[in-house]
Structures are given as structure tokens and as C-alpha cells.
Amino acid sequence: MNKTAWFDDSVLPAAMLNSGFKPLHQSDHYEALDKCMAMAEGDSLLDIGCGIAEVSTAFPAYKYTGVDLPHVIEKAARVKNPQTKFIAFNANKDSYDFVGDYDIVLMNSFISEMPDWYRCLNNVLCNSKGYIIIHRQEVTHEPSYLREYATYAGLKTTNSVINYEELKKVFYFNEFEILYEADSFPNNNRQKTFLLKKETSNVT
């Protein structure tokens, strides 16, 4: 688990800061995310796998907290956004209890980077109390699988491609309904964006 690119504490942070990518609000996947943010209710936003925390500047109206590995926060996110609140977190071994303190939980290309995606997603869903946004998740109609790819600075990591029906079953098992679903990118129906809400019909 700890051999993926995200655990590299020397090359990775600098590469994230100097990626040359367009700002989030100018990206070709911003529209789907913006739609979800507009539909979700609440003012506290938890961004799991925040990277350099550009969501904090793209959506400045929220009480934002970024979550990532300690070296990503200290050497990349806090360098880029020094006034932002962060939580250091290892999704493979730390408690997910804090997730329940936020109105909206965003996972922007986070579950896709977890080899043990099923456990991580279940932990988030079990602890969340409100809205969840899953953005840029590659799906397939074949069985779920892992593949290797190169990310920042050519570092090797894994990508979880998840069976579409299996993914939805995880949502429903944890009593989340899909409020909105869209292609994350124009003309690409393999990467999906979901807005989920905890079902409350059984609450008195």
C-alpha cells in the first residue's frame, strides 16, 4: 500500500506545486464539480485527498478543511495555501471519525487512487452525515480492477477502476441516494461525478 507515488515525500510535493495544470476553475472537469457544489447544502467542506488544496480557492465561500498525507500538506498544500486548515491523514490506517463533522465531503480523484478503494469508501460513507461528492472516478462495466500509471514527475502509482454497479451498491448499502450523476469530462463517459446524500426517511 505505502509504495504508491503518494507516499514519496521528496519528489512528489515539488512536482505537485509545479505541475503546470490549469487552475481548477478553468479545467475541463470543473463544470460537473461546480454543479454538485451548487446542489449540496451546508457551509463546511472536507476535501479528502486535497493535494495543493486548490478547491479552497475555487470555492472560497465554504469553511474548508483539506485532508492529505502529512508530507503533502506540509510541503505542498500549506506552501500553496498557508492560511488554510488541514488535517494530516493516512487513509490506510487512521480513523475516519472526523468525517462526520462536515456538511459536505469531497473526494476529487481520491477513491480512484486507493488500491483498497472498497474499505476506504465504506469508511467515508459510514462516518458521513450529509452530502458526499465523488469526482473523477473511472468506472467500468467489466469487473473492477487495478492498473499502474505514472502521475506527477512520472512516479508510479495505482488506479482503481470500479465496476459501475458495484460502486452504486456500496452507496445504497450505506444508505446514500444519488442526487446527481454526470460525466466528469465532456465526451468521456468513463469518468463519473456523483453527488450523494444520506437518506433520512428512517429517521424520526
What confidence tens digit (pLDDT) does each residue in 50-101 have? 999 999 999 999 999 999 999 999 999 999 999 999 999 999 999 999 999 9
Mean pLDDT, all residues of the chain:
95
pLDDT tens per residue, range 117-160? 999 999 999 999 999 999 999 999 999 999 999 999 999 999 99
Q: Cell digits for 135? A: 469526482
Sign of CA dihedral 176, 177, 179, 180: positive
Nine-digit cell at 153? 514527475
In 3-state terms, what secondary structure has residue 173?
helix
Q: What percent of the chain has pLDDT over 90?
A: 94
Q: Is residue 203 over pLDDT 50?
A: no
Contact by Cβ (8 Å): 196, 131: yes
Contact 66, 95 (CB under 8 A): no
**Residue 200 pLDDT level (bands cut at 50, 70, 90):** confident
Taking Cα atoms as reference points, which of 175, 155, 171 lies closest to residue 163? 171
Is the CB of residue 190 less than 8 Å from the CB of residue 202?
Answer: no
Helix-strand-coil split of the chain, %, nearest 5? 35, 30, 35
Q: What was the pLDDT predicted at 204?
A: 36
Tell me the average pLDDT across 24-44.
97
